[in-house]
Structure 1
Amino acid sequence: MSLTSSSSSAVHRRALALPLIRCAGCKEKVRMFVSTTEKHDGWVFYKCQNHGVSCEFWRWELEYVQYLVENHYLVGDAAVDANGAAEERREQLLNAQELNYMKGSTSMSKKFVKRESGNVMTRQQAAALMKLGRELVMLIKIMLAVVLMLGVGALVLYMVKN
């Protein structure tokens, strides 16, 4: 997990300012960070200044909001708004990750998926293959609909002539 955080990027990525509390365990201030790891790029997390030394307080943004609500740092409308914003933010990040994965980002394409035959393909190739499969299924459905319409048309013509 990267501990690097940019205040300007954090402000631009945040829709909501959450209170930075003192850690219940060691009384040090909890700080906000933005992850720059491949798996969680852009995700906001909160941790105690002593995390990894003498304290284990560490939460993703949504879990931090839930912690604040459970411990009455956020109440009423503020709690509802913060929880809704954090859930929406997580969904946006998950959607962005999925989109990035489906586009075959350079970093994700370096990871490999093992085929049954023992050969390997990149995730980008696997995603392209899945997309091709969906397009083929759609084409087959269209062809089936056309054949059915032609069959019904032929049946109608046959009935009209007899």
Structure 2
Amino acid sequence: MTAPEPNVTDTTAGLAQIAGRLDALAERLGVKSVLVMRSDPDAMVVAATAGEATKHYTVGAAGRKAGRDADRVPLYCERIVDTDAPLFVRDSREDATFAGNEDEVEFGLSNYLGVAVHDESGAVLGTVCVLDDGPRDYTDEQRAELESLRDDVEQIVRRDSGALG
């Protein structure tokens, strides 16, 4: 019997310095995925990935945004980019907006917490988020950890505008 392959944390070259931090956060929070996502006009693109779900979320992988298509369920991160507001979805299967979203249907990840990543002018470039496979809440301390990681990503982006890929 062979041992399962370990989760492989991966990042763009610009975010490599936070790889260990991503791993540590995934472990401390006990979540399936910690991601840094870049917003492109029509897609959300993985810029950094850690946790068990790295097998699904690889650097460069993209999820198509719903945009104005009323027949598509919006991506969690898309909502953050569109509103510039944090998003918490305890269980998408019980959420009128996010039930049946891509992460839930394809990967079984129905729990989401995310915050916007901004450039130095305040424009939203992407998100830092965590996903898990069951309903759960996050403490104020856990939310602060995610915001601290976002702050680090924003500092990197201020020094290297191409850090998100």
**TM-score where L is the length of structure 2:** 0.29
**Larger strand fraction of residues:** 2
**Larger helix fraction of residues:** 1
Higher relative contact order (CA 8 A, sep 6+): 2
Which of the pair has more CA radius of gyration?
1
**TM-score where L is the length of structure 1:** 0.30
